[in-house]
Each structure stands twice: as C-alpha cells, then as structure tokens.
Amino acid sequence: MDRAVEDLTARARIRDAAVRLFGERGIEGASIRDIAAEAGVSSGLVRHHFGSKEALREACDQYAKERMLQIGAELTKDGNLTGLDPLTLHPLAFPLQLYLVRSMMDGSETATALFLEGVEAVEEWTTSFGINPKDRRGYAAALAAIKLSVFVFRDQVSKALGEDITTPAGYNRIGQALMEVFTIPLLTQEQVDHMRKQEK
C-alpha cells in the first residue's frame, strides 16, 4: 500500500476510535493509549498524526460537525424525509450524536456551534412550514435540547424503556417516540389560545 494512503487510513482509524471513546467516556476518560489500542495502532502514531489529545479532540469535533451536516443534507435532499428512519440513521449518526453531546458537555466550542446551527435550522423550518410559536427562538432551542437530552440521559432512558438505546432496536424505539412527541399535539389550539389570554 502507498505510504500516504496507509497514513490516511491510520489517521481515519484513530479519529473514528477517538470519536467512539470520547463519546462513551468523555474527553478526560479516554487516554491516548486507550484510543491507540481501539484503533490498533501505537500511541506514538496517534501523537504523530495529531500531536496531542486536545488537537485530536478538535479534529474529532470538526469531523463530527461536518459529517452530521453532510448526513442531514443527504437525508433531506429534495425535501425527501424517508431517510430519517431511526434504523437507517443509527449506524451513521448515533456515534456522532453521542460524541457531540459529550463534547458539548465538556465545553467544546465547535460542538456548541453545531447546536446553535441546529437551533437556527429549526427556526427556519418553523417559518417554512407556517409554524408560529410565540417565541420562535425559544421554541427552536427547546426542540433542539429535547432531542439531545435523550443522549445526555441515555442510561436513564434505557432503564425506563428496559432497552439499551445505544443498540439499533433501542435507538429506533426512542427515535420513533421522539417523532411522536414532535407530531402529536399535547394541547388543542383552544387551550393554547386560552393560556395566552391568561398571560396577557
């Protein structure tokens, strides 16, 4: 194999291993040695490609952000939402979603920027579909946070369901439930109007 191609493959393996371990354990909980072992390379090779754990984390942040945006664009191409099936999404998106949530919790500016982009995307979606919440930004932020909270509380959610949501079946189950949360109204329009009148 060409040396440049071999190095690129090793770099990608290291990055993918870091995404998995950082997502599962957090930045502090995953060492360079752990990542090297997961990727099947030496610790020296990890440092050769990335220099430090912080630089590796930044590379993972950027990759996860770009890949999630790419997946989103692919799945919603031409307005077709059929690709949003949770079973289809699991192998592509779940490791990245888990990683990005953990990265946000660990204070990553890149991951936080992606969350803010997600909030803006929800705002645009509400406008294009004629959804007019009283506080559009607040509505968008709440929806984005609800989706991410499933991963923050994945152990508790898994226990509540009696099924591990990191598995395809569990991910599908909670994904379908989230779709219903977002599509089944909790209040009638009359109830909403009544509540708004009381606020005035």
Question: For 118-176, what is each residue's pLDDT tens digit?
Answer: 899 889 888 888 888 889 999 999 988 998 888 889 899 999 999 999 888 898 899 88
Residue 78's pLDDT is what? 53
Q: Where residue 21 falls among pLDDT bands split at 50, 70, 90?
A: very high
Distance CA 136, CA 125 (A): 10
- Could you give the residue ranges of the DSSP H alpha helices within 26-153? 32-39, 43-50, 53-75, 86-105, 109-128, 136-152
Share of the chain above pLDDT 90, in %: 33
Among the listed residues 10, 49, 46, 9, the one whose alpha carbon sits nearest the alpha carbon of residue 31: 46
Residues 6+ apart with CB under 8 A from 152: 101, 105
Report the chain's mean pLDDT, rounded to a whole number: 84
Q: Indicate if the pLDDT at residue 3 is higher than 50.
A: no
Name the percent of the chain in helix, strand, coil, to the closest 5.
Answer: 80, 0, 20
Under 8 Å between Cβ of 113 and 68 = no
Distance CA 33, CA 103 (A): 19
| Residue 24 contacts residue 100 (beta carbons within 8 Å) | no
Place of tokens 């329009």: 189
- 58 pLDDT more than 80: yes
Q: What is the dihedral of CA 110, 112, 116, 117, to 10 degrees?
A: 30
CB atoms within 10 A of CB 103: 26
The single residue listed with the structure tokens 């888990």 is 98
Check residue 4 and give its pLDDT: 47
CA distance 93 to 84: 11
pLDDT digits (tens, 9 = 90+) for 69-79: 787 776 655 55
Region label for 27, one of left (φ > 0), alpha (ψ between -120 and 50) or beta (otherwise): alpha
Q: Confidence class of residue 1 from pLDDT cuts 50, 70 and 90?
A: very low
